[in-house]
Amino acid sequence: MAQYTQPDEWRSAWRRVLRGRKRLDGHFPDSEEYDDALYHFFQDAWHLKDWLKNDPSIGRTLTGLEDELRKHQSLMIAADMANGTKHRLLTTIRAGANITEKHHIIQVGNPKPVLQVRLLKLNDGSQHKDSDVADQAIAAWRAVFTTLGLAPNA
């Protein structure tokens, strides 16, 4: 198997996750553009684990990484959203996250005139706002870094 050579290490993927979250707060007059940004955020947030597992700069095998990730519902939601939007069909369902509602809120006189909101419904029947899940995923990753003794520097 060929190895993809990336000049940066896992921290560059982490910064991409942070930029993706910030991007969601931007101006999206078009629903599909917002969905693209949201899908990319969840894909980056979930696949950060692969960067961690495959980065030789860490200097050790991250045993227990998957167990740590499973402790955080937001990361399980990110996994479902990432894999569902990438493959169209989930073969492994973690939280059962699906977008069930799309809201476009018009804000007159606001520099961000259209607010995009997605509601995610889980298998347990609970609903979560996309931005809340994204914020929780960032916090979850910070907790995972601490548990694993990794310093993200951002």
Reported as a single tens digit per residue, the pLDDT across 90-109 is 566 667 787 777 887 777 77
Look at residue 93 in the predicted model and tell me its pLDDT: 66
Closest residue by Cα to residue 138 from 8, 19, 4: 19
Res. 140 pLDDT band, cuts 50 70 90: very high
Beta carbons within 8 Å of 82's beta carbon, 6+ residues apart: 39, 42, 43, 45, 46, 47
Look at residue 29 in the predicted model and tell me its pLDDT: 75
Coil vs helix vs strand at 129: strand
For the chain, what is the total number of helices (H) and then of strands (E)? 5, 3
Entry pTM: 0.86
Percent of the chain with pLDDT over 90: 53
| Highest mean pLDDT of the ranges 29-43, 47-61, 79-93, 131-145 | 131-145
